[in-house]
Amino acid sequence: MANISSRAATSHDRIWNLTHGYVYSSADAGVTWHRTLLDDATAWVTEESCTYGSDGQAYFADGESDTSTGQPRHEWGHLQLFRSTDHGMSWTRGGTRREGWVDWTYLAALPADANHSASLVVFGNQATDRLGHWWKQQPITLEAANGAGSISGCRRAALQEPLRCLFRWIGRVA
């Protein structure tokens, strides 16, 4: 399944991510596309999502499953975060979640304001709380700061969590 994300300022730049850790970017409103990221760290890379932040920041998340036994073992895999500073045209690895996997990721980029640093919120259906062990709480949220390089621990997402992020974002840009 593909996700399409665009920054609010213009519809000329788009990011499109497909399964297996691919990101395709377009700088001409989708007329031409170029692969700008390939995460092939394992034989099973999935759980992708992407979003735009402010000032050309873009973020991509995926899950790299452990395939050392020949079968994907998500509970032994890791969430990977990638960051772009040029609207998705080039990427660097932001951070790896040491505690492991996050299932069904969804990203929300929150811009900085006078009281908060810019951050990235990762929503997930479920996650491991340590390698090899599924956390019993779900759904979950994590927060990443410092260019997606530092990732918080899991916390159970209240049903209103996406709305809290939306209102926090609206408050920052209003």
Q: What pTM was computed for the model?
A: 0.81
pLDDT at 159 over 80: no
Structural domain boundaries enclosing 33: 3-173
Residues 31-46 have pLDDT tens digits of 888 889 988 888 788 8
Residues 71-86 have pLDDT tens digits of 889 999 999 999 999 9
Rounded mean pLDDT of 116-139? 91
pLDDT at 17 over 50: no
Phi-psi label, residue 29: left if phi above 0, alpha if psi -120 to 50, beta otherwise: left
What pLDDT score does 54 carry? 84
pLDDT at 6 over 50: no
pLDDT at 149 over 70: yes
If one counts the domains in the chain, the total is 1
Mean pLDDT of the chain: 81
* 10: confidence class by pLDDT, cuts 50, 70, 90: very low
Would you state the structure tokens that stand for residue 37, as one six-digit string? 């990221």
